[in-house]
Amino acid sequence: MRTLGSDSGFGELFKQYDVLGAFWVNIQLTLWSALFALVIGTVLALFRISPVGSLRWAGTAYVTVFRNTPLTIIMVFLTLGVWAQLHVTLSDDLQKNFFRLAIVGLSVYTASFVCEAIRSGVNTVPVGQAEAARAIGLTFLPAARIVILPQAFRGSVAPLGSTLIALTKNSTVASVVGVSTETSSLMKNMLEFNSSLLVAIFLTFAIGYVILVIPVGFATTALSRRLAVQR
């Protein structure tokens, strides 16, 4: 563990290691997973609010299982189980394969949180809104499209924002699947070979995440305030 290699200066490190490139890998992981998670999560939310019992049950079961399983175990299962034992391959290129497996893991995990965020948005709409829509003669689809879903979407902006932040941070768990170019793997590598700069290296990566995550928080808070339905 204790490797006292060539301790170079702090500035030299950035020539030696591609820190920005590592962050770019995490951003790519985040964006792809956010896209898939949004699709799966929306479908699950539709299941959970539908009047069809079996779909509701399926949606609830999915959310219960994936919200209560650690992301790490999903990731390990994807490599050691699904890829190594069930021989599910997503690309012939090994690195690309791991990258895609990580996206699968992040997506199926995050989808359960997206589903709950959307559902909580629907829950913010008072029943009176639906009753009013019915009263002025709107049938199901127009009522949903014109009255209920726009309000539901506004209510789910804030929880979706915190889900996106969590996803950004969770993208580091991709190192468990073997994505070796992302930030946590690179940081570990750098720390092991530059023991004298331990704190400085950690702070560099940490501040990178602060810069990445905090604007998302500000943006979604501002957006949800602006979109908030006055009641």
Partner 1 sequence: MTDSTVLFDAPGPRGRRLIAIGNVVGVLVVVGGLAVVVRAFAENGQLDGALWSPLLTADAWKNFYLPGLVSTLEAAAASIALALLFGLVFGLGRLASSRWVRAASGTVVEFFRAVPVLLMMIFFSLFFAYNGVFQSQYIPFFAVVVSLMLYNGSVIAELVRSGVHNLPRGQREAGLAIGLTTGQSLRTVEVPQALSAMLPALLSQLVVALKDSALGYAIGYTELLQQSRRLGAAHGNILQSLLVAAVIFVIVNYTLTTLAQRVRRRRRHHHADGGEPGAAGGIVGATPPPIPAPAR
- The interface with partner 1 within residues 37-66 (CB under 8 A) comprises 49-56, 58, 64-65
Nearer residue to partner 1 within complex by CB, 94 or 207: 207
Cβ–Cβ < 8 Å for 60, 44: no
Nearer residue to partner 1 within complex by CB, 68 or 230: 68
Choice from 35, 146, 198, 222 touching partner 1 (CB under 8 A): 198
* Shortest Å, Cβ 173 to partner 1: 6
- Contact string 60-99 vs partner 1 (x = CB under 8 A): ----xx-xxxxxxxx-xx--xx--xxxxx-----------
Nearer residue to partner 1 within complex by CB, 14 or 218: 218
Three-state DSSP state, 38: helix
Query: Stretches 10-18, 30-38, 91-99, 211-219: which one binds partner 1 (CB under 8 A)?
Result: 211-219
Q: In which element (H, E) is residue 74 found?
A: helix 71-76
Contacts with 60 (C-beta within 8 Å, 6 or more apart), sequence order: 48
Amino acid at 103: I
Burial of 176-189, coded b for 16+ CB within 10 Å and e otherwise, reads bbbbbbbbbbbbee
The DSSP string of 193-226 is H-GGGHHHHHHHHHHHHHHHHHHHHHHHHHHHHH
Instruction: Classify residue 230 by its DSSP letter.
Output: P
Q: Is residue 224 part of the contact set for partner 1 (CB under 8 A)?
A: no
Cβ–Cβ < 8 Å for 125, 152: yes
* Shortest Å, Cβ 89 to partner 1: 13
Query: Stretches 12-20, 34-42, 96-104, 207-215: which one binds partner 1 (CB under 8 A)?
Result: 207-215
- Contact string 109-138 vs partner 1 (x = CB under 8 A): ----x--xx-x--xx-xxx-xx---x----
Q: Is residue 175 part of the contact set for partner 1 (CB under 8 A)?
A: yes
Please report, as residue ranges, which positions from 151 to 170 form the binding site for partner 1 (by CB under 8 A): 159, 162-163, 165-166, 169-170
Contacts with 187 (C-beta within 8 Å, 6 or more apart), sequence order: 22, 201, 202, 205
Nearer residue to partner 1 within complex by CB, 32 or 112: 112
